Amino acid sequence: MRVVSLVPSLTEAIAVTGGPDTLVGVTDWCTHPADLGGAVRIGGTKNPDVAAIAALRPDLVVANEEENRAPDLAALRAAGLDVLVTEVRTLPQALTELERVLRACGLPPRPRWLDEAEAAWAGGPADASSTAVVPIWRRPWMVLGRDTFAGDLLARLGVRQRYADHAERYPRIPLDELNRAGADLVVLPDEPYRFTADDGPEAFPGLPAALVSGRHLTWYGPSLAEAHGELSRALAAARR
């Protein structure tokens, strides 16, 4: 199979399972694994080079309904390409979609890392011990809202996100409102906005800040096997 991946987490899943040579094209944001063989960089997730992708003659293009834009996916299909689009809002959905993608790529649908990921996250959501504001961007401030994969992972770790019932999935909320939201924790991932110890916590005086890996919070793939432990440690450190 000649596969183009427009989703960093799917790139990692395919390369780890079938080897980097399975992929003939990946986005500029595909960083894992470090060795992606001879895969051609075909632009970003939001602005892929459709002509360059078509020139690679892939058997399959894998994409995500949230990560990639509908007009780009339509253009790829108009170019005669087979496009598989995933939808991931929860952990169980992610595990099912990963099997579907790997099978479509002609790879084993249940690699060892997928079994390890499922085992690491066995069980449902934990009783909420914290309520958190979870920014994903600043200037303007945007936070996790309803029906997000990251929100589902946090719920399984006992963290209820303050805007889980918001009408939008990624609402824009003014900073002063975020600070009045009644949360007892702020969770700051390092992607898509790169929050750091010096860029983010200062905006939430008096709130403990958990700086977490965006890859572990938002990617669905091999990183899920270690995400439970990594996120748990970061949340516990912030609560101390």
Tens-place pLDDT, residues 168-182: 999 999 999 999 999
Residue 12 lies in a domain: yes
94 and 20 within one domain: yes
Residue 170 lies in a domain: yes
149 and 99 within one domain: no
Q: Which pLDDT score is estimated for 72?
A: 96
Cβ contact 157:228 at 8 Å: yes
Q: How much is the CA Rg of the chain, to the nearest whole Å?
A: 18
154 and 85 within one domain: no
Cα 170 to the center of its chain, rounded Å:
14
Strand partners, 159: 130
Residue 125 lies in a domain: no
The boundaries of the domain holding residue 79 are: 3-110
Q: How confident is the model at residue 102 (pLDDT cuts 50, 70, 90)?
A: very high
99 and 191 within one domain: no
Q: Which pLDDT score is estimated for 61?
A: 98
Q: How confident is the model at residue 123 (pLDDT cuts 50, 70, 90)?
A: confident
134 and 204 within one domain: yes
Cα separation of the two ends of the chain:
49
Cβ contact 159:130 at 8 Å: yes
* Distances, alpha carbon 64 to alpha carbons 9, 55, 84, 233, 234, in Å: 10, 21, 8, 29, 28
82 and 151 within one domain: no
Q: What is the mean pLDDT of the chain?
A: 95
What global pTM score does this model have? Answer: 0.92
Residue 124 lies in a domain: no
Q: How confident is the model at residue 81 (pLDDT cuts 50, 70, 90)?
A: very high
148 and 220 within one domain: yes
* Largest interatomic CA distance in the chain: 55
Q: Which of 110, 141, 172 is the last residue of a domain?
A: 110
194 and 95 within one domain: no
Residue 123 lies in a domain: no
81 and 41 within one domain: yes
Number of domains in the chain: 2
Residue 158's domain is classified under what CATH number? 3.40.50.1980
Q: pLDDT, tens digit, for every residue of 213-228? A: 999 999 999 999 999 9
Residue 117 lies in a domain: no
The alpha carbon torsion through 45, 50, 54, 59 (nearest 10 deg) reads 30
97 and 154 within one domain: no
DSSP state for residue 121 in the 8-state scheme: T
- Distance CA(226)–CA(231), nearest Å, equals 9
